[in-house]
Amino acid sequence: MKRVNVLGAALSFAALVVAPALAATQLTGAGSSFVNPFFSKAFYEYSAAHTDVTVNYQPIGSGGGIQQFTQRTVDFGASDVPMNADEIKRLPASAVQVPIALGGVAVTYNLPSFIKGGLKLTRETLADIYLGKIAKWNDPRLTKINPGAELPDAPIIVVHRSDGSGTTYIFTDFLSHVSGEWKSKVGTGKSVEWPAPSAVGGKGNDGVAGAVRQTSGSIGYVELAYVHENKMTQAQLQNAAGRFGFCTGGGVAAAAATKLNLTPTDFSIVDTKGETAWPIAGYTWVFMYREYQKPEEKSRAKMVRDVLEWTATSGQRIAGTLDYVPLPESVQEIAKKSFSEIKV
């Protein structure tokens, strides 16, 4: 009797757990880890409203996302940098790349004495610091733009991400835009050969943040959301319009708004001309194939498209609550148009 009861309870419990899972189609995506907190929340909310769909997103890194998408082992891929010509050539079929999230990269530092209003940097000085050409904090070029600030006679420790990351891509893209020497000597990439003799690599945002927080005289770059969550000291950076400012959601949105003709091959929004634009920003992209043949593939692809389109439009209000920057209207329109090209 007792056994029957236990069995009955187990069965009904199993039914409770399994039933929704059976009813819902599980879609899978893989790629960018930067976008993961946003995706988790957005997909969770989407599933709450659409009980027939759940999304399993694996934040294995953009490279892995592209690879899995190419092998068709996931329904969609996500990357902090759109696929380049080489990567597109390797795809089994034509794909659509759509901007889905927007983020900024902030400059953080650690100096023994507090600087009122924050350390000020021009684009050129930041590039020269990362090149190792400005090696000390009391370099005349820094004291000139920071009058009154107490800058020590100490080496500048340059902290960077050691893991391949979209954040590094955006940051080095910015440095390549503002410094010819950086462009020719180092270039743009998710991992680069850092030229400064005092460079140290930290793994992930937390690695960079940890190194900067512990090392007096250091400077580093981290995602905007990370700076906010951890209340880190930000540097002011001069933009192309000549204005100094901190990295803020508004500044990143302003940078994004200057580029209305965003495409997967012309996607850089660093060093834009906007009056209030923050110069180090970039998009995360998702990919789907353009055509699906079999009926079951089509119905699945339609679900994927609907989730992603919702994420790129209505879902953007969630981005704001998580310290991502919501896509500007114009970019949401670009996203919608790209999704409409998918034949399902």
Partner 1 sequence: MQSESHEQLHLRRSRISDRWFMAGVYGATGLFVAIVAGLFVELYAGSSSSIRAFGFNFLTSSHWNPVTNQFGALPMIYGTVVSSLIAIVLAGFVGVFGAAYLVEFAPRAVARPLAFLIELLAAVPSVIFGLWGLFILAPVLRANVEPFLQAKFGFLPIFQGFIFGSSLFTAGIVLAIMIVPTVSAITRDVIAAVAREHREASMALGATRWETMARVILPGATTGIFGACVLALGRALGETIATTMVIGNKPAIAASLFQPAYTLASVIANEFTEATSDLYVSALIELGLLLFVVSLAVNGIARVLTWTVLRPAKAR
* Interface with partner 1 (CB under 8 A): 60-64, 66-67, 86-87, 155, 157, 162-165, 186-194, 198-203, 207, 210-211, 214-215
How are strands ordered across the β-sheet holding 95-110? 53-58, 25-31, 76-79, 281-289, 95-110, 218-223, 157-161, 199-202
Q: Is residue 224 a contact partner of residue 250, using CB atoms and an 8 Å limit?
A: no
* Complex with partner 1: residue 32 or 238, whichever CB lies closer: 32
Residue 78 beta carbon to partner 1: minimum distance, rounded to whole angstroms: 13
In this structure, are residues 237 and 243 in contact, taking their beta carbons and an 8 Å threshold?
no
Q: Whose Cβ is closer to partner 1: residue 46's or residue 171's?
A: 171
Which is closer to partner 1, CB of 61 or CB of 274? 61
Least distance to partner 1 from the beta carbon of 168, Å?
Answer: 9
The residue whose two tokens read 């498209």 is 305
CB of 113 to partner 1, least distance (A): 18
Q: In the bound complex, what is the minimum distance in angstroms from residue 90's beta carbon to partner 1? A: 9
Name, in order, each residue with C-beta under 8 angstroms of 201's C-beta and a sequence gap of 6 or more.
159, 160, 161, 162, 194, 207
Smallest separation, CB 307 to partner 1 (Å): 24
Coil, helix or strand at residue 102 = strand
What residue type is assigned to position 272 of the chain? T
Nearer to partner 1, 122 or 165 (CB): 165
HSE (CB half, 13 Å, CA atoms) of 77? 26
Say if residues 269 and 260 touch (Cβ distance below 8 Å): no
Query: In whole angstroms, what is the distance from residue 213 CA to residue 265 CA?
Result: 37
**Which C-beta is closer to partner 1: that of 143 or that of 198?**
198
User: What's the closest the beta carbon of residue 324 comes to partner 1, in angstroms?
Assistant: 20
* CB atoms closer than 10 angstroms to residue 189: 14
* Shortest spacing between CB 233 and partner 1, in angstroms: 17
Contact 130, 149 (CB under 8 A): no
Which residue, 176 or 236, is less far from partner 1 as judged by CB?
176
Residue among 12 and 56 whose Cβ is closer to partner 1 = 56
